[in-house]
């Protein structure tokens, strides 16, 4: 519908910047890797389209590709997309950003556009009429960016443009003519190196002309409609690119004797409906322009973008939620777990695992692999060169958000004599270990020697903590959970008539030492190097470590948590109540030689040297004095638990059995 405007002042809708998050990622990269301290202006690209949805303001888009410099025409995008060249300046300090003379900078860009108009460069490349400037201060520690866009447009004091008449495109051209113009426009864009923002249409022939050709024909008296790709779809007012275009036309088109003259302008707005390209939303506007000359005394520049509050002030964006490496790593770590809840394990409780404090004793192959799987907290035991501290530091390299702490700690062991000169240090080590076990929920025993596991087992049993134990042979491994006492002597008392296939409550499950009738002692005496070191097949520690973590996870996901029972045979396990992740065995014994596992369960031993009631009560009563006797006397544990009497009785039984055979049997002599 035709709209008559009695010399209405021409209004232009300014660009609004639209920044894809990938833009900030790339800016962060180029500042760190390429620009560094160089704060000179660098090339930057933006792009806009003339086929935006209805009721959208003019939008200039920016993403990671804005920093890429390429002359490849295939990367220009859709035919309705116009690539605009601009500049970016990244300041090194916020003070430099703040004190910059913004008006002076904008005038410099405006003068460059005006010079291109006067010299004719803008006739050869009309896209020079649209430019932008971006100033940024990037705080790469907090991932906050202070920025301000300018889209320079030149103005002339006391001289204005007027909108005399506005028609829809379809009121000027028929459907057939519109289709012809679309065809000519497509050919026009394809033959240019870059998509052109500005063009013109010769009314008689419907040919699409360059701006330079169009001005020449207009000056010869031809009816020319000067067009531009309009990014605005919000109203009958044109977008920002027309401002500088009118300045070019006002200077280069043939002047009349009058101070003002009229030009026809096409606001070219593409639409696609039903797969067909239409120009129904395009406008034809009759504009009154004034005469200007190259000697204009005053040329002003406007164009700083307003912020969210419509104020002429910079914007600030905080990208720490998506760019902070710790948060990115945390998101990546949690992604797999969260996806489990979608479909595979909807009942899994992620928080109960996340909130567990895990103490890893041992920072060798087992300790490091368990820590890598857990990614929760690492407290390590080490006898050499601060391995646990280094392990914690390396964990942070893998996942910066991990709450990992390395502790250098020498664990006192049975049979390892403690002299008077070492007593104070050993006492401090015991106190530190006790404190660590009290502060944590789950204790992983991952040390090299059998005797180094004794003291943590005793303390954890006294504190009623869950213990996950993992040990390696050459091609075999053991992963087990220790039983967790209730603290009630009556409930913790072991049954006298245990039967095979009987369910074993958690407080009756055996520990690592329950199957031994020999007290732990110094296992490194009189051993060669290959016997002192853990010599195993290369993949064994990773298999055992993974199973240790998975056993811990299954315990935590079971409704009974630490009190989950086990069964005494492989056949009966399938009948027990499972967690959402599956069964919760007592032990996993694996053999790489045959690539097989068995899942035995064993009741606690009433004469166990680590978890029996006698040991726990003496530890609670006498504390370090009791432990000191264990460290200095290799036979002390066997004496107080009754193992010595048991072995004596067994030896006597074997002697009696042999004597009986000697008296009753005749042996063939050879």
Indicate which residues carry an active-site annotation: 533
CB 447 within 8 A of CB 488: no
Contacts of 347 (CB under 8 A, 6+ apart): 580
End-to-end Cα separation, the chain, in angstroms: 127
* Contact yes or no for 399/375 (Cβ under 8 A): yes
What is the C-alpha to C-alpha distance for residues 521 and 634, in angstroms, rounded to an integer? 6
Lookup result for tokens 């004719």: 120
Pairing of strands 276-278, 283-290: unpaired
Q: How many CB atoms lie within 10 A of CB 503?
A: 13
How far apart CA 7 and CA 633 sit, in angstroms, is 109
Q: Report the 10 Å Cβ neighbour count for 97.
A: 20
Phi then psi dihedrals of residue 503, to 5 deg: -65, 135
User: DSSP 3-state helix, strand, coil percentages of the chain (rounded to 5)?
Assistant: 40, 20, 40
Three-state secondary structure call for residue 181: helix
DSSP 396-427: HHH-TT--------PPP-TTS---HHHHHHHH
H/E element, 664: helix 643-664
Contact status, residue 303 vs residue 297, Cβ threshold 8 Å: no
Distances (CA, A) of 459 to 408, 436, 437, 624: 19, 10, 7, 12
Which of 623, 620, 602, 599 lies closest to 551, judged by CA?
599
**CA of 78: how far to CAs of 73, 83, 230, 269, in Å?**
11, 10, 15, 14
The number of beta carbons lying within 10 Å of the beta carbon of residue 233 is 23
Which helix (H) or strand (E) segment is 613 a member of? Answer: helix 613-622
**Closest Cα to residue 321, out of 24, 530, 12, 31?**
24
Which element (helix H / strand E) includes 444?
strand 442-445
Bridging pattern class, strands 442-445 and 300-304: unpaired
Tell me, what DSSP letter sits at residue 376? S
Buried b (16+ CB within 10 A) or exposed e, 127-147: bbbbbbbbbbbbeeeebbbbb
- The residues with which 471 forms a beta bridge, in sequence order, are 478
Q: What angle do CA 524, 529, 534 make, to 5 degrees?
A: 75
Residue owning tokens 């008006």? 103
């Amino acid at each position: 519908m035709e709209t008559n405007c009695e010399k209405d002042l021409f209004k232009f809708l300014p660009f609004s910047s639209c920044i894809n998050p990938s833009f900030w990622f790339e800016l962060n990269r180029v500042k760190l890797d390429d620009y560094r301290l160089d704060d000179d202006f660098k090339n930057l690209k933006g792009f806009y389209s003339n086929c935006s949805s209805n009721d959208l303001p003019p939008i200039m888009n920016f993403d990671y590709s804005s920093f890429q410099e390429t002359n490849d025409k295939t990367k220009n995008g859709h035919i309705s997309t116009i690539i605009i060249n601009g500049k970016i300046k990244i300041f090194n300090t916020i003070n430099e950003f703040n004190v910059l003379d913004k008006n002076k900078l904008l005038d410099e860009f405006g003068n460059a556009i005006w010079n291109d108009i006067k010299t004719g460069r803008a006739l050869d490349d009309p896209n020079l009429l649209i430019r932008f400037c971006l100033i940024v201060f990037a705080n790469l520690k907090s991932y906050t960016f202070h920025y301000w866009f300018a889209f320079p447009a030149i103005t002339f004091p006391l001289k204005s443009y007027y909108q005399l008449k506005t028609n829809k495109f379809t009121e000027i051209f028929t459907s057939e003519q519109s289709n012809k113009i679309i065809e000519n426009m497509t050919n026009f864009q394809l033959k240019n190196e870059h998509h052109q923002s500005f063009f013109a249409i010769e009314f008689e022939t419907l040919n699409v002309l360059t701006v330079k050709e169009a001005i020449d024909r207009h000056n010869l008296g031809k009816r020319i409609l000067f067009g531009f790709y309009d990014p605005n779809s919000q109203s009958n007012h044109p977008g920002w690119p027309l401002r500088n275009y009118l300045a070019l036309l006002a200077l280069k088109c043939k002047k009349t004797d009058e101070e003002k003259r009229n030009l026809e302008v096409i606001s070219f707005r593409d639409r696609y409906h039903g797969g067909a390209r239409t120009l129904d939303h395009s406008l034809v506007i009759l504009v009154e322009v004034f005469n200007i000359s190259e000697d204009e005394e005053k040329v002003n520049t406007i164009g700083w973008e307003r912020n969210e509050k419509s104020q002429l002030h910079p914007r600030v964006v905080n990208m720490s939620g998506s760019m902070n490496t710790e948060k990115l790593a945390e998101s990546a770590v949690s992604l797999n777990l969260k996806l489990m809840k979608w479909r595979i394990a909807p009942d899994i409780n992620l928080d109960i695992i996340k909130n567990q404090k895990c103490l890893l004793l041992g920072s060798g192959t087992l300790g490091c692999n368990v820590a890598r799987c857990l990614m929760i907290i690492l407290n390590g035991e080490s006898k050499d060169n601060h391995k646990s501290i280094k392990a914690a530091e390396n964990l942070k390299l893998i996942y910066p958000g991990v709450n990992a702490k390395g502790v250098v700690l020498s664990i006192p062991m049975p049979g390892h004599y403690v002299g008077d000169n070492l007593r104070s240090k050993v006492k401090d080590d015991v106190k530190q270990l006790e404190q660590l076990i009290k502060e944590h929920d789950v204790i992983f025993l991952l040390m090299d020697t059998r005797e180094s596991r004794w003291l943590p087992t005793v303390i954890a049993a006294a504190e009623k903590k869950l213990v996950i134990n993992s040990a390696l042979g050459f091609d075999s491994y053991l992963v087990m959970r220790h039983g967790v006492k209730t603290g009630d002597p009556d409930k913790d008392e072991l049954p006298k008539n245990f039967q095979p296939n009987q369910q074993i409550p958690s407080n009756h499950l055996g520990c690592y030492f329950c199957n031994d009738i020999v007290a732990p002692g110094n296992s490194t005496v009189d051993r060669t190097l290959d016997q002192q070191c853990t010599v195993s097949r290369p993949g064994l520690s990773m298999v055992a470590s993974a199973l240790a973590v998975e056993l811990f996870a299954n315990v935590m996901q079971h409704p009974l948590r630490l009190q989950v029972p086990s069964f005494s045979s492989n056949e009966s396990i399938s009948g027990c109540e499972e967690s959402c992740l599956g069964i919760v065995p007592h032990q996993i014994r694996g053999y790489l030689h045959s690539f097989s596992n068995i899942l035995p369960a064993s009741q606690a031993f009433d004469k166990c040297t680590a978890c029996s009631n006698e040991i726990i009560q003496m530890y609670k009563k006498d504390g370090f004095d009791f432990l000191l006797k264990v460290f200095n006397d290799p036979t002390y544990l066997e004496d107080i638990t009754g193992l010595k009497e048991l072995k004596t009785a067994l030896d006597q039984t074997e002697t009696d059995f042999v004597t009986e055979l000697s008296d009753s049997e005749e042996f063939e002599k050879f």
